Amino acid sequence: MWHVLDSDQEMLRDMTARYLADNAALPQLRKLRHDPAGFAPGYWTAGAELGWTSLLVPEEHGGGSVSGRGAVDCALIAYEFGKAAAPGPLVDCNVVAAALADAGQGTAAAAEVLSGLLSGQAIAAVALGWAPWLRPDQAGVTVRRDGADYVLDGTVRPVESAGQAQWLLVTAHGAEGPSQALVPTGAPGLAITPLKGLDVTRRFSAVRFDGVRVPAAALLGEPGGARAQLARQIANAAVILAAESTGAMDAAFAMTVDWAFQRYTFGRALASYQALKHRFADMKSWLEASHAVADAAAEAVADRTPAAAEYASAAKSYIGDRGPELAQECVQLHGGIGVTYEHDLHFFLRRVTLDRLLYGTPADHRRLIAAIQIEQEQAA
Amino acid sequence: MSDDLEPVEDFRRRARAWIQANLGPVQPWDLDQNCENDAEELKAVARDRALQRKLHDAGFAGLCFPKEYGGQGLTPAHHRAFCEELAGHEFPSRFAVPTFSPCASIILECGTAEQKARHLPAILRGDEVWSQLLSEPGGGSDVAGATTSAVRDPATGDWIINGSKVWTSRAWWADWGLILARTNWNVPKHQGLTVFMVPLQQPSIEIRRIERLNGESEACEEFFTDVRVPDSDRMSEIDGGWTVGQRWMYHERVGHNSPWVLRPVGLKQNESKEPTLVAVARRAGRLDDPAARELIGEGQALKIVTHELQRRLASAAASGAGNTDLSSIDRLFRGLAGVRQATIALELAGGQAAAWSEEEEADTGSQGMRYLMRQVTCIGGGTTEIARNVIAERVLGMPREPSGDKGVPFRDVPRGPSRKT
């Protein structure tokens, strides 16, 4: 995270850090292990009051950032989420809120959804039935026109908090290209099946669309024309996930450095062995590099620079690769206790691993970067 | 910082206008300092001297150097702006490292008033190119273990230097060298060193070129036989050279990222003559291969991360959030990133990396040869192992490695079969 913040940003960050310390400390999270939602409704609405869901939404749509750079402020919150391994659908709610604001709200229903997301009363989930790293024929969800309506078929998994959400932003591929629609989770033909998952508090489901019929007014953007808005959503998600993972890496690393000083073997602290010192040095370099690229991606996305998508994918792929690698090194350096439930380390190993897998793997994002590079070379 | 400095953005506009009007496009010999042959290299050296002079005459040389030594007295932010505007243009690349950093940086920090007045304006004018005489054949990363000796001539007060130094880049055409020599063998190693300045092109210094496995021979080895240096060219206290040495190490780690070094920056600036990974994949006919695309994306992501890490560490230093030891993080990361980039390029090139034509080499280089030289990025300028020690011990505060030379008079330190008596 940034070395220098303005006082409003510091306040934003500190209020979330304090709130999480009071309401989502690791002993409390352990108790949520079998909770179907993984968080209490009151926890999320209180967080929304701290700005958790409004930073990517411009003021004219009811949101507002503290620095004028929403993605940067949102990254500050996400970083604290990572450091605390905090519960809650931070990524999807922000992605959907920003998408609705970007689309100019459109229908009254969309305005109501946005207002619900901003207050924390509503939860929205993102169902990537197609993504830019897939070929059209690899789409999990297809869309076809039927009269004035659109019909969705297929399955997406995993979808976060689908069981708690009132709304789904679904991406599907059809003859005209990728389309997006805002669908209520109670729509006929829609089935949500909870899955087991990696994280202690974050819940995932499989969402099945069986001839789900949506009116044209439910589409976000043009039919078949969702490619650009989808790229923007993925960049927002990548920024949040990169910052969150960096926070989790920081927590795991700090814990492991402390351990290296406390743990003695053969009459010496672990921290005195050169073989281990060198591994700590490598991890420190990954950690600093993760901070650097997570921050740079947040800035690029906030400022909508021409390199924003490339930076977001660079952060997602680099941190998606190094985050879990760092956490696994931390496990190794802890030894057997590193894989016990009683130890805290697993919260962060889970979080960085989960973040690696959501919204495109490192390999997926590397192919996106390559496509940008190839396009630029051909244009030059 | 003074209030009447030109605002950075005004300076940037002025710099941009001058650069665009006066500097041509970046040249192949800027990106890779190894020229086709020595005659070409000497031409490039002459061009660099002229370019440095041109910057000087226009008032753009030594942006962060004090005005009294011919510099411009500006801030690192001005320097950064100039470097950004320089992207894509020719520049006096052979002055960057080691002339400006570490040599000129150390002269500025540690030189006497006379030494600064004599050498800094000359460097800024393009009249002096410097080398650093640091590593020794028996030394490697342990530079404080230098055994090149300097003995005082009681008759004249001059110093007589004997010994040898190695891995000195481009010493064969450099004007001056900064040398770390041992002046006292009866104290522990850090306490018996002294730093001198020596003119390199003289009969008592024999300079040999070292040919590397890829055929280039920019690095040199120097043999000093009774080289006489006046006491006025001594740059440290007698036996107090390690104070200078520590700053030297710091400036060497910082290398091209120093605010004293002029060079184009920014991602658009291709920092080497290496072809892009897209070009390598295209030559191999693999642009549509998903595995190749993953490698291209990985390489580009790594390039972005490397660039942003350097920016972050610079901002940490500027904001006071970090100390000079953080530069070892950049050093380690750049070393390992360079290794990975070379491996990615080899992988992308596939079987074609094993043998190639002249035209192919001119077009996209040799990814096979680049791979053979891969570890250079982890060795030159202090190995990545040393950087790891610095990070663990000075950034993370872990215990220091035991050493066989701590507190021991240097004369008694085990130095292997080549031990001097």
First to last CA, chain B: 52
Q: Do B392 and A374 touch (CB under 8 A)?
A: no
What interface predicted TM-score (ipTM) does this complex get? 0.96
- B152 bridge partner residues: B159
Interface check for B403 against chain A (CB to CB < 8 A): the answer is: no
Q: Is B401 on the interface with A (CB under 8 A)?
A: yes
What number is the average pLDDT over the span B5-10? 93
Dihedral sign for Cα A302, A307, A308, A313, please.
negative
HEC string of chain A equals CCCCCCHHHHHHHHHHHHHHHHHCCHHHHHHCCCCCCCCCHHHHHHHHHCCCCCCCCCHHHCCCCCCCCHHHHHHHHHHHHHHHCCCCCHHHHHHHHHHHHHCCCCCHHHHHHHHHHHHCCCCEEEEECCCCCCCHHHCCEEEEEECCEEEEEEEEEEEECCCCCCEEEEEEEECCEEEEEEEECCCCCEEEEEECCCCCCCCEEEEEEEEEEEEHHHEECCCCCCHHHHHHHHHHHHHHHHHHHHHHHHHHHHHHHHHHHHCEECCEEHHHCHHHHHHHHHHHHHHHHHHHHHHHHHHHHHCCCCCHHHHHHHHHHHHHHHHHHHHHHHHHHHHHHHHCCCCCHHHHHHHHHHHHHCCCCHHHHHHHHHHHHHHHHHHC
Give pLDDT, residue B267: 54
Chain B touched by A285 (CB under 8 Å): yes
CATH topology match: A124-224 vs A228-379 = no
pLDDT band of residue B250 (cuts 50, 70, 90) is: confident
CB A1 within 8 A of CB A246: yes
Interface contact flag, A377 B300, Cβ < 8 Å:
no
For residue B116, the one-letter residue type is: K
| H/E segment holding residue B22 | helix B8-22
* A325 vs B: CB within 8 A: no
> Which pLDDT does position B253 carry in this prediction?
75
Q: What is the pLDDT of residue B79?
A: 93
Contacts of residue B347 in chain A, CB cutoff 8 Å? none
Homologous superfamily assigned to A124-224: Butyryl-CoA Dehydrogenase, subunit A, domain 2 (2.40.110.10)
In this structure, the dihedral spanned by the alpha carbons of residues A90, A92, A94 and A99, taken in order and rounded to 10 degrees, is 180
Q: Is B201:B186 a contact under the CB 8 Å cutoff?
A: no
- Among candidates A141, A166, A164, A134, which has minimal Cα distance to A368? A134
- Contacts of A194-198 with C-beta under 8 Å, sequence gap 24+, read A194/A36, A194/A163, A195/A157, A195/A158, A197/A158, A197/A354, A198/A350, A198/A353, A198/A354
Query: What residues are paired with B223 via a beta bridge?
Result: B164, B206
How far does B74 lie from chain A, in Å, by closest CA? 23
Across the A:B interface, residue pairs with CB atoms under 8 Å apart total: 142
Q: Which two tokens stand for residue B96?
A: 């960057």
What residues of chain A, 207 to 266, have a C-beta less than 8 Å from chain B?
A: 257, 260-261
Q: Quick one: closest CA in B to A369, which residue?
A: B297
Region class of A142: left (phi > 0), else alpha (psi between -120 and 50), else beta: beta
Per-residue pLDDT of chain A (380 residues; tens, 9 = 90+): 888 899 999 999 999 999 999 999 999 999 999 999 999 989 999 999 999 999 999 999 999 999 999 999 999 999 999 999 999 999 999 999 999 999 875 677 889 999 999 999 999 999 999 999 999 999 999 999 999 999 999 999 999 999 999 999 999 999 999 999 999 999 999 999 999 999 999 999 999 999 999 999 999 999 999 999 999 999 999 999 999 999 999 999 999 999 999 999 999 999 999 999 999 999 999 999 999 999 999 999 999 999 999 999 999 999 999 999 999 999 999 999 999 999 999 999 999 999 999 999 999 999 999 999 999 998 87
Q: Does residue A374 belong to the interface with chain B, where contact is any CB pair within 8 Å? A: yes
> Residue B171's closest CA among B213, B211, B207, B135?
B207
Residue B12 has pLDDT above 80, yes or no: yes
Cα–Cα distance for residue pair B158/B228, rounded to 1 Å? 6
Q: Does B339 touch chain A (CB under 8 A)?
A: no
Domain boundaries, chain A: 7-119, 124-224, 228-379
Q: B293 and A377: CB-CB below 8 Å?
A: no
Cβ under 8 Å to A: B residues 352-391: 385, 387-389, 391
Of A257, A307, A310, the CB nearest to B396: A257
In angstroms, rounded to a whole number, what is the distance separating the alpha carbons of residues B64 and B247?
17
Residue A224 distance to chain B (closest CA, Å): 25
CB of A198 less than 8 A from some CB of B: no
The angle subtended at Cα B49 by Cα B46 and Cα B53, nearest 5°, is 140
Calculate how close chain B gets to A379, using CA atoms only, in Å.
13
DSSP string, B131-192: EEE---TTTTT-GGG---EEEE-TTT--EEEEEEEEEEETGGG-SEEEEEEE--SSS-GGGS
**What angle, 0 to 180 degrees and rounded to 10, lies between the N-to-C axes of helices A227-262 and A308-334?**
30
Asked whether the beta carbons of residue B391 and residue A284 sit closer than 8 angstroms, the reply is: yes
Does residue B1 carry a pLDDT above 50?
Answer: no
pLDDT interval class at B164 (50, 70, 90): very high
Is the distance from CB of B283 to CB of B352 less than 8 angstroms? Answer: yes
CB contact under 8 Å between B297 and A295, yes or no, is no
Q: Name the closest residue on chain B to residue A371, using Cα atoms.
A: B293
Q: Helix (H, G, I), strand (E, B), or coil: what is residue B402?
A: coil
For A7-119, CATH gives 1.10.540.10
Write down all domains in chain B, each with its CATH number in brackets.
8-96+110-127 (1.10.540.10), 131-247 (2.40.110.10), 274-395 (1.20.140.10)
B267 vs A contacts (CB less than 8 Å): 307
Judged by CB atoms closer than 8 Å, whether chains meet at A313 and B297 is answered as yes
| Structure-token match 């760092």, residue found | A326
Query: How many other CB atoms sit within 10 Å of the CB of residue B70?
Result: 17
Residue A107 amino acid letter: T
Give contacts of A242 with chain B, Cβ < 8 Å: none
The verdict on B344 touching A (C-beta cutoff 8 Å) is no
- The reported pLDDT for the residue numbered B141 is 76
> In sequence order, which residues have a C-beta less than 8 Å from that of residue A176 and are 6 or more positions away?
A223, A224, A225
For residue A293, which residues of chain B lie inside 8 Å, CB to CB?
301, 304-305, 308-309
Distance CA A279, CA A285 (A): 10
B278 to chain A: nearest residue by CA?
A374
Given a cut of 70, is residue B179 above it in pLDDT? yes
Please give the Cα distance from B338 to A79 (Å, whole number): 29
The phi, psi pair for B204, rounded to 5°, reads: -80, -5
Tokens coding A362:
């490192």
Instruction: Kindly determine whether residue A377 and residue B278, on different chains, have CB atoms separated by under 8 Å.
Output: yes
CB of B132 within 8 A of CB of B198? no
CA angle (A62 as vertex; A57, A68 as ends), nearest 5 = 45
Nearest CB neighbour to A373, from listed B300, B312, B398: B300
Q: At what angle do helices A108-119 and A90-102 cross, to 10 degrees?
A: 140
Q: pLDDT category, B317, cuts 50, 70, 90?
A: confident
Distances in Å between the Cα of A73 and the Cα atoms of A294, A311, A317 are: 12, 17, 21
Judged by a CB distance cut-off of 8 A, whether residue B290 touches chain A is yes
Instruction: Kindly determine whether residue A3 and residue B297, on different chains, have CB atoms separated by under 8 Å.
Output: no
CATH 1.20.140.10 fits A228-379, yes or no: yes
Contact A370 B297 (CB under 8 A): yes
**Three-state SS at B400:** coil
Token pair 């300028």 is found at B381
Contacts of B88 (CB under 8 A, 6+ apart): B25, B26, B264, B268, B269
Q: Residue B392's pLDDT is what?
A: 97
Of A272, A295, A314, the CB nearest to B301: A314
Angle between helices A7-23 and A41-49 (to 10 degrees): 170
Which residue matches tokens 């001297």?
B49
- pLDDT band, residue B194 (cuts 50/70/90): very high
Alpha helices (runs of H) in B32-112, residue ranges in sequence order? 38-57, 76-85, 105-110
Q: Report the chain B residue with the minimal C-alpha distance to residue A378.
A: B278
Structure tokens at B405: 């030379």
Between CA A78 and CA B164 the distance in angstroms is 56
Cα distances from A191 to residues A154, A187, A208, B62, B309, in angstroms, run 11, 9, 5, 68, 45
Q: Which comes out higher in pLDDT, residue B37 or B183? A: B183
Q: Is the peptide bond before B154 cis (omega within 30 degrees of 0)?
A: no
In angstroms, what CA-CA distances link A166 with A104, A163, A211, A358, B110? 20, 8, 19, 21, 68
